[in-house]
């Protein structure tokens, strides 16, 4: 099998009929060689350890053009020219790093390939210029300084790489792959999360400083957004070999990780030490990548910054929204719905939307529990063998909805106490209204907006992050948790306190490019420590280093976490009383421990940790079920 072929391993639960216990060797994946160009599937009935009948299969994307690219490595005479599987690229120096921009990791998903899995990138001849970012993916909104209703391009599946100028050790540099945020509807790997947040500077995720000081190889990428990335529709599902649709953005991210696996050694990176991490919607996407059986062997650590692993729509729910979208496009009654959808101009496909009422735990455009890429809710899968058992870093900001997220969660008025009650009654079940008002009394806050901001921060992001951390700590690999507590000393972000996104320039150490902001000495030191934690975690699976240590491993019995501020503290119990309420009164699907479908060594979470039955480590469990990664 060519090393230039992409392989997904997917386990699809086909029925819940109990069957005999599976022997460990029997869950090894099936290899199916497939013709070019379309993915084909072959399945075989298996049984998972809890007795459910499973159809396990692998599929490959094969492409003669990509597999047989003629690349002359003798042309790579200088460090700024690198050999990739599709051809040579020329980057440029950026400080003490080289940067390679706009590298295609997949072919353009346009025309008949809209709402199809990504295909391998086309070959090119000569040396391709990689000194400019590729087009951002098509999205609603306006670039700063413009008033356009949308911008971008469907031909957008590219990635960017920052590589140290220093020579790597024999094993190579650790690799950090970042999935940008933006609600899965906006943003890019070359711009600051959302183009509507210019306060962060032109590119908060610039990887130069991490590459220089790590040293490490840093990668950012584009993936399809909005309905172009996440449209599920019965007609698309019927036409697909998996009988599912919708997770095209996730497939893009997996294709990018596969490209990294095959090519990153050429940039000095170690394909065995890959951290995939994301912020906001990007963190939600990382939840999918960790929970999915499609990502075997593609990364060795995972990081979640400011999001949760909860409330993923089912295929049925997503297809219902997709039918409404198709109706808006005028395709509902078309004789060939997929053809009608694919014939829509990019602008119309991007600007068409489906209005959904605001609700906690409501529908979110993004990854779908489709039964193929994602076979269940991530929280349920994290209690099972069916996910990537890798070390995990989880971080939240103390006041998540104070900055950019508030309008997304509550677009209505919030000027009076009456407005506050209306918001609570709209967003939450009516039977909880009085309890929520008692827990977050409007009189305890300077304004009704401040009260709702704290409520939404807890319910949407802070408490879900704690649930995710506790789930991993109880059932999986090592976990480290942090809380961003810092308020900027000056500049345009200061009024938003420890809000959503305000921590990202510190993780990337990109304070230098933020406009109208002069970091204090303590803020510069905080950025240096946080970026060091991140690189160390990518390197070893433990964020502690000699220069930036003291971060305790998270445990559900102590809730120990790192509080990130001018002075970094080890603390515990952040918002615990509030999170206890949300955990018990409005738990998400998959959080009930009785839903765990694992190896039969389920533990009683009411017992102290030392008294629980011993559970095998994630590595041991993975070896038992899948064989070596």
Q: Which of the residues are catalytic?
A: 280
Q: Are strands 269-279 and 301-305 parallel, antiparallel or unpaired?
A: parallel
Helix or strand holding residue 624 (H, E): helix 618-626
Q: Rounded to whole angstroms, what are the CA distances from 308 to 57, 377, 458? A: 29, 12, 11
Following DSSP, what letter does each residue of 554-600 receive, concatenated? P-TTT-EEEEESSS-EEEE-TTHHHHHHHHHHSPPTT-SGGG--SSS
* Packing angle of the helix pair 448-457, 417-427 (nearest 10 deg): 20
C-alpha count within 13 angstroms, C-beta hemisphere, residue 434: 1
- Which residues lie below 8 Å from residue 61, measured CB to CB, with a gap of 6+? 5, 6, 39, 117, 118, 119, 120, 255
Distance CA 568, CA 580 (A): 25
Query: What is the spatial distance between Cα 520 and Cα 60, in angstroms, rounded to a whole number?
Result: 51
Contact between 459 and 423 under an 8 Å Cβ cutoff? The reply is no
537: CB partners within 8 A, 6+ apart: 275, 301, 303, 391, 393, 480, 543
Q: CA torsion, points 546, 551, 554, 557, in degrees to nearest 10?
A: 120
11 and 297 Cβ atoms separated by less than 8 Å: no
Beta bridge partners of 368: none
Sign of CA dihedral 222, 225, 228, 234: positive
- List the one residue out of 234, 597, 186, 183 whose CA is nearest residue 382: 597
Helix orientation angle between 281-291 and 248-263, rounded to the nearest 10 degrees: 70
CB 493 within 8 A of CB 505: no
| C-beta neighbour count of 259 within 10 angstroms | 26
């Amino acid at each position: 099998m060519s090393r230039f072929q992409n392989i997904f391993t997917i386990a699809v639960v086909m029925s819940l009929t109990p069957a005999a216990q599976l022997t460990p060797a029997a869950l090894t994946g099936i290899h199916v060689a497939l013709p070019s160009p379309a993915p084909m599937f072959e399945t075989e009935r298996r049984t998972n350890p809890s007795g459910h009948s499973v159809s396990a299969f692998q599929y490959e994307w094969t492409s003669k053009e990509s597999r047989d690219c003629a690349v002359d490595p003798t042309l790579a005479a200088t460090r700024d020219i690198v050999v990739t599987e599709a051809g040579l690229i020329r980057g440029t120096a950026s400080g003490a790093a080289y940067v390679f921009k706009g590298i295609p990791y997949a072919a353009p998903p346009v025309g008949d390939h809209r709402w199809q899995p990504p295909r391998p990138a086309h070959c090119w001849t000569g040396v391709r210029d990689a000194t400019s970012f590729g087009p951002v993916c098509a999205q609603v909104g306006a670039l700063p300084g413009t008033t356009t209703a949308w911008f971008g391009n469907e031909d957008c599946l590219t990635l960017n790489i920052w590589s140290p100028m220093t020579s790597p050790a024999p094993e190579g540099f650790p690799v950090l792959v970042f999935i940008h945020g933006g609600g899965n509807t906006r943003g890019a790997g070359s711009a600051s999360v959302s183009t509507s947040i210019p306060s962060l500077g032109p590119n908060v995720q610039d990887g130069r400083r991490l590459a220089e000081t790590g040293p490490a190889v840093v990668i950012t990428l584009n993936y399809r957004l909005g309905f172009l990335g996440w449209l599920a529709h019965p007609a698309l599902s019927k036409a697909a070999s998996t009988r599912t649709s919708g997770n095209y953005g996730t497939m893009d991210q997996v294709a990018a990780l596969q490209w990294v696996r095959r090519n990153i050694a050429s940039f000095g990176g170690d394909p065995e030490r890959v951290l995939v991490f994301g912020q906001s919607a990007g963190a939600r996407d990382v939840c999918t990548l960790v929970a999915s059986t499609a990502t075997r062997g593609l990364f060795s650590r995972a990081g979640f910054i400011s999001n949760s692993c909860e409330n993923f729509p089912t295929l049925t729910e997503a297809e219902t929204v997709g039918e409404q979208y198709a109706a808006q496009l005028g395709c509902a009654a078309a004789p060939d719905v997929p053809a009608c959808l694919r014939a829509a101009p990019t602008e119309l496909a991007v600007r068409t939307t489906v209005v959904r009422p605001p609700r906690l735990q409501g529908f979110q455009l993004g990854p779908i529990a489709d039964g193929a890429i994602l076979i269940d809710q991530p929280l349920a899968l994290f209690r099972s063998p069916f996910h990537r058992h890798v070390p995990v870093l989880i971080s939240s900001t103390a006041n998540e909805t104070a900055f950019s997220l508030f309008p997304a969660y509550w677009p209505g008025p919030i000027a009076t106490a009456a407005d506050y009650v209306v918001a609570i009654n709209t967003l939450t079940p009516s039977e909880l209204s009085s309890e929520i008002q008692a827990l977050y009394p409007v009189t305890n806050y300077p304004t009704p907006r401040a009260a709702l901001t704290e409520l939404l921060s807890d319910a949407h992001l802070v408490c879900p992050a704690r649930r995710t951390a506790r789930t991993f700590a109880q059932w999986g690999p090592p976990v480290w948790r942090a809380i961003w507590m810092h308020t900027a000393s000056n500049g345009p972000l200061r009024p938003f306190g420890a809000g959503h996104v305000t921590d990202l320039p510190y993780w990337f150490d990109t304070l230098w490019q933020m406009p109208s902001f002069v970091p204090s000495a303590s803020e510069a030191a905080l950025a240096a420590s946080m970026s060091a934690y991140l690189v160390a975690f990518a390197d070893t699976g433990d964020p502690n280093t000699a220069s930036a240590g003291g971060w305790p491993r998270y445990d559900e019995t102590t809730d120990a976490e790192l509080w990130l501020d001018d002075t970094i503290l080890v603390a515990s119990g952040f918002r615990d009383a509030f999170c206890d309420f949300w955990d018990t009164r409005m738990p998400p699907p998959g959080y009930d421990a009785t839903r765990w479908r694992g190896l039969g060594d389920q533990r009683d979470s009411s017992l102290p940790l030392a008294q629980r039955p011993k559970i095998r480590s994630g590595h041991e469990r993975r070896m038992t079920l899948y064989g070596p990664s």
